[in-house]
């Protein structure tokens, strides 16, 4: 049975994607594989490979959790190198700590982990650091160009309203990953039982 590469994410409104695209322009010559603007998002839970049956269970759980939590705002405050441990692998936009975002991630992750049918077998062990990957560093070229000395982080001020989470599929292609929204689930909206 074929499996699909699945994750739960917060999509960004067009004005925030545009603001991030504009902010990263000053570094376009650095050795970085930039994320397509339409692909910018905050990953909440990376599921991994899942069967169609598991995807149905993941969607059901996401709907159940989302209806219990109200919409909220997220503020992006800084563009910097990440992760903070070890050599940098990415340039990302980091969000201000958000209890609502952390709770949403925690609730989803716990529910997926405790479900017998979701296929989600291990929780993330790293501290949740909400961010948007703007680009992945091309390691050898980055070192050879001394690019770390050319990159200085930048403060930004972009705030947006989170009213839904998306169940997404990632397809790895030659030109970079392509993401498809399988289901968008509104926060705070009670949905009828579909069984």
Which residue ranges form the domains of the chain, and what is each CATH number? Answer: 4-186 (3.90.1140.10)
The single residue of 4, 17, 24, 41 carrying the catalytic annotation is 41
Question: pTM of the prediction?
Answer: 0.91
Active site residue 84: no
Look at residue 91 in the predicted model and tell me its pLDDT: 95
Catalytic residue of the set 17, 60, 105, 131: 131
pLDDT at residue 190, rounded to an integer: 65
- Confirm whether 114 is a catalytic residue: no
**Dihedral of alpha carbons 46, 50, 52, 57, sign:** negative
Query: What does the pLDDT read at residue 123?
Result: 73
Which run of H or of E encompasses 109? Answer: helix 99-114
Query: What does pLDDT average to in each consecutive run of 10 residues of the chain (195 residues)?
Result: 92 97 91 94 95 95 95 96 88 95 95 83 80 94 86 91 97 88 90 55
**What is the phi/psi pair of residue 65, to 5°?**
-70, -45
Q: For residue 119, what pLDDT is reported?
A: 75
């Amino acid at each position: 049975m074929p499996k699909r590469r699945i994750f739960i994410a917060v999509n960004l409104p067009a004005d925030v994607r545009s603001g991030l695209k504009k902010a990263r322009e000053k570094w376009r010559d650095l050795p970085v594989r930039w994320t397509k603007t339409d692909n910018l998002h905050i990953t909440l839970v990376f599921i991994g490979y899942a069967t169609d049956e598991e995807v149905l269970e993941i969607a059901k759980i996401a709907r159940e959790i989302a209806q219990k939590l109200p919409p909220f705002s997220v503020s992006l405050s800084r563009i910097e190198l990440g992760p903070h441990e070890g050599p940098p692998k990415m340039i990302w936009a980091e969000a201000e700590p958000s209890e609502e975002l952390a709770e949403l991630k925690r609730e989803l992750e716990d529910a997926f982990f405790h479900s017998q049918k979701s296929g989600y077998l291990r929780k993330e062990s790293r501290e949740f650091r909400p961010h948007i990957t703007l680009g992945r560093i091309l390691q050898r070229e980055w070192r050879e160009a001394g690019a770390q000395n050319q990159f200085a982080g930048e403060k930004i001020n972009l705030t947006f309203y989170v009213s839904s989470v998306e169940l997404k599929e990632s397809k790895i292609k030659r030109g970079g990953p392509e993401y498809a929204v399988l289901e968008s689930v509104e926060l705070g909206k009670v949905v009828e039982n579909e069984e």
